[in-house]
Amino acid sequence: MIKVLFVCMGNICRSPTAEGVFRHLLRQKNLEDKVEVDSAGTHGYHVGEAPDQRTQRAAASRSYDLSDMRARKVAAQDLDYFDLILAMDQNNLDALKRICPPDKHERLGLFMSYSKNFDDDEVPDPYYGLGHGFDLVLDMIEDAASGLLEGIEQQLVGKAGDARSGDQLAAKLDRPA
């Protein structure tokens, strides 16, 4: 089982969108039993809340249902449990690096490093912007999620039966150039 955590600041816009999109892709490929997915925020501003209504509307317009998700803050045990911890932007990656033991830093990365069609390193935070920002976020997340899934599929096929620690997996999982 490969375990992936998506992280943004409040866990009500970008990271739950990434979780919902990635879950959808896993269902399409029948990989739900091989990949575990969750999302969290580096800040606890919205713990227990559903994703932002604008996020849910944009996601629903593309057949992603985020309504059952609830915001949570990254916990210390997440840093040990998840094989890949993918931040939506550099600020959240830096926050993760501050709380993550140095021997687990290989598990951390930027989600957009898996993108094939966007040159951006970060998924912009749409929270304070106008509604069109949520569609752009979805475009970016769909692209990066597809690239991530390709890398995970290659890892699952290429290393079937090869038990790896989370750090080894993160180091070996190909990220597009």
CA 133 from chain centre, in angstroms, equals: 18
Per-residue tens of pLDDT for the chain, all 177 residues = 999 999 999 999 999 999 999 999 999 999 999 999 999 999 999 999 999 999 999 999 999 999 999 999 999 999 999 999 999 999 999 999 999 999 999 999 999 999 999 999 999 999 987 777 999 999 999 999 999 999 999 988 876 555 454 555 555 565 554
Number of domains composing the chain = 1
End-to-end CA separation in angstroms for the chain: 25
Active site residue ranges: 8, 14, 125
Judging by beta carbons within 10 Å of its beta carbon (0-12, 13-18, 19+), is residue 28 exposed, middle or buried?
exposed
Identify the DSSP state of 164.
-
Q: Where are the beta strands (DSSP E) in the chain?
A: 2-8, 35-41, 84-87, 108-110
Domain of 43, in residue numbers: 2-172
Residue 177 lies in a domain: no
CATH of the domain at 100: 3.40.50.2300
